[in-house]
Amino acid sequence: MGQYSYIETIDQMMSQNKTFLVIDYADLAQQSDLEEIFHKEPDLMLEVFARAIKETLQTRYPDYAESIKDEINVRIINYPLKKTVRQINSKSSGKFISIKAMLIRMSPVESIPTVAVYVCPDGHPTKLTAKRNFNIGIPIVCNNPNCKHRDFELYQKGSTFEDYQILQLQELPSELPPGKLPKTLGVFVHGSLVDSARMGDTVEITGIVRAELSNIIKLGKPVQTYRHRLYANNIVRLSNDNDLGGKIDDRNIQMINSIKNISEDDATELIVNSFATHIQGHKLIKEALILTMIGSDAQILDDGTRVRGDINIFLVGDPGTAKSEMGKAVFRVAPKAFYASGRGSTGAGLTAATIQDKTTGAYMLEPGITVLADEGLAIIDEFDKMKPEDRSALHEVMEQQTVSIAKGGITATLNARASIIAIANPSFGRYDPFKNLTENIPSIPIPLLTRFDMIFVVRDIPEKSKDEKIARHMISTHKTTKTVRIKKSFDHEIFVKYLRFAKQKKIKLSKEAEEKIIQYYLKMRSSTDEDSGYTITPRQLEGLVRLTTARAKFLLKDMADENDADRAIHIMDEMFHSSGVDVNTGKVDLGVLQGKPKSQVSQMNLFQDLMKSLEQDSHSGVPDKEIISEMEKTGKWDEPQAKDFFKKMLRESILFEIRPGRYSWVSQ
């Protein structure tokens, strides 16, 4: 470490109102004697460094040095001795380490005394200074040797306090051994480190592991047990900043920017081929998932209203069509993603829960995956297997992107600015093409479905050429242990960095793109067909804007142009033809996704008018044969269709049987 390496940085502490100095461990390692002492006595070395900074400041800025004399500390970065949560054991106690983990819980910020002054009833002061674990007890005897009092009261005006917070870390999913439960570790942070990270962040924390009294167990006689806690020296957020994919160097940027020199179609193929290479086909859905990972930018209006930029997508279809595999592929490559299965998730697990801390007894919030995934993605598999009351917790998350909690004495609104990727199977096993989407997944409420920007039905339809490609592709994955590679694709590492690079871009709509979207929206709203219609809503319009800007990011543009709007419209059209077709008419009708298609509403209105006219002269009901006969005369039903519709009205309790063979309309 050079003699004057940090003098300039120390001089800047006052102008920047800082109380700490960041030291690169590589500089410390150049002095072998200092490095050896640091490994043996990290507390001593940190105290020596702090004292040296204080003395240097006193010669330059004595007033500032005096005002922060009890707060000066040193932070160590780039420490090479890295451990995981699972590797923390009894041998780690007293060691300085660096640990990378996920932050899952934060306690409220409270104050702790670093210097406590107690006074007895006679006013004699007794001063206590915090030890290295910030443990200050109550004095047993007074400092005045002639005082016999044993009652003391804290004199707050003469004491010094510092903010502190308890964090809970959990080991990263990538580090979790198969068949093991994730381990956690408590972290004590104080001073300027308080609130320096958010729940859900992946963080790298350096600090000293200490043993703390936990509880007393009986092994023949009472024995005190201790738990490990990390006393933080420095915290670095990795999520969405440095990221787990590593830094993007110049070579990576050159490779990523190389797509600007090829056509948009070739660039799209290159990027889509780089995602989930072990899955054959589904190119449009893969592209939609990549757009979801990249997302759009949230808009803050003048009145403070926030319009979400995150894209929500729903996959439903036949078993064995790689829906879950595509969800897992998103989990592996997205900059920040969390995965959950609907069968094993509760409403609190998806949003937030209140728990009581065993150490302090205080209630605190424990975030669910949508809060942890803030500014990332939440992938929910087996969406159809969830309990209705648990699934209902997502209504607020998917549109307002917040989680409101009012329980356990805590009232709070948490950010949940996450894209939702939901995956479900039809209620009857395979997807029935003769039933509308809502009839295939009756367990999922209509209001929740309308919050998805894209809904894709994944069908398993036999087709010789496609089936042969899939079969050969699957067999090839079993021939070698190497990752399946496809021609014209990025390798996995570059693709992960590309996604992060694209996500960080800020995009605006060009006038041409705006006009294209508006004209498409007006076209969809102007349908005059009596039996079918697009019934597109402003939610689909916002979805189009999000897809257009995400497509521009996807190709690393500076502005979304007409081509991006065309591609977004194409994806939306394909989605409409995948999930929005009314099976009764064979035409696209978004009423399918919003309750009932226009053809069914038309039939219902016609049937209602028919029943009212038949019941005008009769209060004892109408015979079923007469009802079916009149339905046939309208020309909207033939005999089998009329009988099926009649049975459906009975099942839905719209008709009821007054007496055997005679039926009446239930007034709505």
CA distances from 584 to 296, 597, 637 (A): 36, 9, 11
Name, in order, each residue with C-beta under 8 angstroms of 574's C-beta and a sequence gap of 6 or more: 284
Question: Along the chain (668 residues), what's the average pLDDT of each consecutive run of 10 residues?
Answer: 69 82 86 85 88 86 82 87 87 89 84 87 85 77 85 86 88 80 88 84 89 69 80 80 47 66 81 84 90 88 83 89 89 86 79 72 76 87 84 84 79 85 87 82 84 88 72 70 58 82 87 91 70 66 91 89 92 83 68 65 71 72 79 76 79 76 72
Question: Which residues make beta-bridge pairs with 212?
Answer: 227
Is the distance from CB of 80 to CB of 35 less than 8 angstroms? no
Model pLDDT, residue 598? 65
DSSP 3-state of 149: coil
Is the distance from CB of 208 to CB of 95 less than 8 angstroms? yes
**Helix residue spans in 245-340 (DSSP H):** 250-257, 264-273, 283-294, 323-333
Question: Which residues make beta-bridge pairs with 364?
Answer: 355
Is the distance from CB of 256 to CB of 501 less than 8 angstroms? yes
CA 605: distance to chain centroid?
A: 44
CA distances from 388 to 271, 324, 392 (A): 37, 21, 6
CA distances from 156 to 69, 112, 149 (A): 19, 11, 20
Name, in order, each residue with C-beta under 8 angstroms of 526's C-beta and a sequence gap of 6 or more: none
Model pLDDT, residue 243? 42
Model pLDDT, residue 3? 57
CA distance 559 to 514: 12
Model pLDDT, residue 207? 92
CA distances from 305 to 431, 540, 661 (A): 39, 19, 57
Model pLDDT, residue 4? 64
**Helix residue spans in 105-148 (DSSP H):** none
Model pLDDT, residue 359? 59
pTM passes above 0.85: no
Reported residue count of the chain is 668
Residue 438's nearest CA partner among 420, 457, 461, 419 is: 457
Tell me whether strands 655-659 and 622-623 are parallel, antiparallel or unpaired.
unpaired
CA 231: distance to chain centroid?
A: 28
Residue 97's nearest CA partner among 83, 86, 109 is: 83
Give the side-chain half-sphere CA count within 13 A for 577.
6
Rg (CA), the chain: 32
> Residue 551 has which token pair?
């497509």
DSSP 3-state of 229: strand
Question: Which residues make beta-bridge pairs with 378?
Answer: 338, 420
What phi, psi does 154 have (nearest 5°)?
-70, 130
CA angle (211 as vertex; 210, 212 as ends), nearest 5 = 115
Listing DSSP states for 154-215 in one string gives E-GGG-EEEEEEEEEEE--GGGPPTT-PPPEEEEEEEGGGTT-S-TT-EEEEEEEEEEEEEE
Burial code (b: 16+ CB inside 10 Å, e: under 16) for 390-400 equals bbebbebbbee
CA distance 356 to 169: 17
CA distance 637 to 652: 19
CA distance 662 to 69: 92
Model pLDDT, residue 2? 47
- Dihedral, CA atoms, 289, 293, 296, 301, nearest 10 degrees? 120
Model pLDDT, residue 220? 63
Question: Which residues make beta-bridge pairs with 410?
Answer: 407
CA distances from 277 to 270, 458, 488 (A): 11, 18, 11
Residue at 35: amino acid letter: E
Question: Which residues make beta-bridge pairs with 337?
Answer: 377
